[in-house]
Amino acid sequence: MPIDRIVALALVAISSLMLVRLGPGAYRAWRIYAGTGRRRQQDAQGGAPDAPPGVRDRMALLAEAGFRHLGETRLELPVGERFGWIMAADDGESYAILAGATGAVALTGIYSAWMDGAWLGTIHPLGAAVDRPGLEVRIVTTTLAEAVTVHRAGLERLRRVHGAPRPIRSMPDMLALDVDYRVRFGGSRLRPLTIRIVLPAILALGVLVLSVVLLAASFR
């Protein structure tokens, strides 16, 4: 068998295996990213499961830091239904979304927003930081208590520029802010992660197409 045909067959096999392995995850990631701007969280009062231990622990920590339980939300994703537990600061100037752990990490996001469209977010314990007009997102990898401290420091700094943040006293307040965030920023924060997941699958597909062309050429 000619060497070029052997190489082409090997490339077909390797790229096919890579595509089978990477393709489904890439497709799911793209669907999640593409629908972020249109997707809406819904009030899940009475329909959410009991908070798992990891969420209850974080709720207790936030309660000590001056937050109160506001309610629960549900979100339909291409990978299934997801729930979030919402807490609001006693002063009404920020709210926290506690996600149940879908992997090894359980995320908590603390947010504040202003009438002029400015947003401040603090994520614990990992994520992608953002610093652009209208949106600041900080990542705190240490403790949830430190994340609260960092968020409040940022809130006081931005107060001098934007004034008092929009109040969050009820679930409708929080859901209105969720819509505002999604309309303004859509999937922009998911874009880097989506690219990292999707790009290898696209490269595998490209190699597969090229190797099939080379294989066909080897029979001429």
CA angle, 60 then 66 then 70, to 5°: 70
If asked whether residues 29 and 134 sit together in one domain, one would say: no
Q: Are residues 65 and 97 in the same domain?
A: yes
Amino acid (1-letter code) at residue 144 = L
Residue 73 in this model has a pLDDT that exceeds 80: yes
pLDDT at 1 over 70: no
> pLDDT grade, residue 19 (50/70/90)?
confident
Give the mean pLDDT of 115-143: 92
| Residues 105 and 24 both lie in one domain | no
**Residue 43 and residue 48: Cα distance in Å, rounded?**
9
Listing DSSP states for 2-32 in one string gives -HHHHHHHHHHHHHHHHHHHHHHHHHHHHHH
Q: Say whether both 52 and 124 belong to one domain.
A: yes
Same domain, 156 and 109: yes
Would you state the structure tokens that stand for residue 93, as one six-digit string?
């100037």
Same domain, 11 and 65: no
In a domain, 192, yes or no: no
Same domain, 29 and 57: no
Residues 27 and 120 in one domain: no
- Give the separation between CA 55 and CA 85, rounded to whole angstroms: 8
**Per the structure, how many domains does the chain have?**
2
- Position 60 scores a pLDDT of 95
Shared domain for 61 and 136, answered yes or no, is yes
Range name among 22-31, 64-73, 129-138 with the lowest pLDDT average: 22-31
Asked whether the predicted pLDDT for residue 57 surpasses 70, the reply is: yes
Whether residues 134 and 104 share a domain: the answer is: yes
* Any domain includes 73: yes
Q: Is 157 a domain residue?
A: yes
Global pTM? 0.73
Residues 201 and 139 in one domain: no
Which residues make Cβ contacts (< 8 Å) with residue 45, sequence separation at least 6?
A: 71, 72, 171
Give the domain range for residue 102.
Answer: 39-187
Q: Residue 30: which pLDDT band, with cuts at 50, 70 and 90?
A: low
Task: Tell me, yes or no, whether 19 and 66 share the same domain.
Answer: no
- Average of per-residue pLDDT values in the chain: 84
Among 153, 173, 39, residue whose Cα is nearest residue 113: 173
